[in-house]
Chains A and B, each alone.
Chain A
Amino acid sequence: EPEVTQTPSHQVTQMGQEVILRCVPISNHLYFYWYRQILGQKVEFLVSFYNNEISEKSEIFDDQFSVERPDGSNFTLKIRSTKLEDSAMYFCASTGLVSGNQPQHFGDGTRLSIL
């Protein structure tokens, strides 16, 4: 069964450094998402991406965050000048259809630890 893959599984970064989290969505999917889960808390929406641009973003997704689809397969989340509170699991998800009401399929996440 096709799946969303994320790399690395664990990223350790010094505070203030930039980090790029990578995702390969399911190949025929059109909508891509990033979510965050701080340890012990619920999964929170960050951003959705369609047709090479951001379609929605949450209050969490401020100017330190950016997303990109640099080629036909990868979808990346960049965090500039990381802060301690950016430590969390970051999940990528994708769905096939343009409109909603289809389940989003998640990768197994990248654990980001900011020191």
Chain B
Amino acid sequence: GESVGLHLPTLSVQEGDNSIINCAYSNSASDYFIWYKQESGKGPQFIIDIRSNMDKRQGQRVTVLLNKTVKHLSLQIAATQPGDSAVYFCAEKGNRGNDMRFGAGTRLTVKP
């Protein structure tokens, strides 16, 4: 079936290094994707989004890359900080039209 999933459940990086979190999706009709950050005890927090007519979008210290050929989404975090430690979810707009379908999440741990 169609799904949004992640390649790795955990990622550990050194403070100051760059982080790359990956996500695979299987619905080729998806036209909108979001990366969310979820800290312990909190709801998903919007980080960055991208529409399917783009292949790259940059924010502050974050970049999202979309490869529609292989249905792959990635989140790059530059100069990772301890405050970046959280679970990161990719989400795609679902078939129903307005729901978001979430992947399983990657836990990012930043070591000082």
Contact = CB atoms under 8 A, between A and B. Distances in A.
Interface of A: 4, 6, 31, 33, 41-45, 48, 50, 55-56, 58, 91, 93, 95, 100-101, 103-109
Contacts of A4: 43
Interface of B: 31-32, 34, 36, 41-46, 49, 51, 89, 91, 93-94, 96-105
B99 A58 contact: yes
A106 B38 CA distance: 10
Q: State the majority secondary structure of interface residues on A.
A: strand
B43 A106 contact: yes
Given A91-B43, A101-B32, A107-B43, A42 B93 contact: no
Q: Which 6 A-B pairs have the closest CB atoms?
A: A106-B43, A45-B99, A56-B96, A43-B102, A103-B46, A101-B32
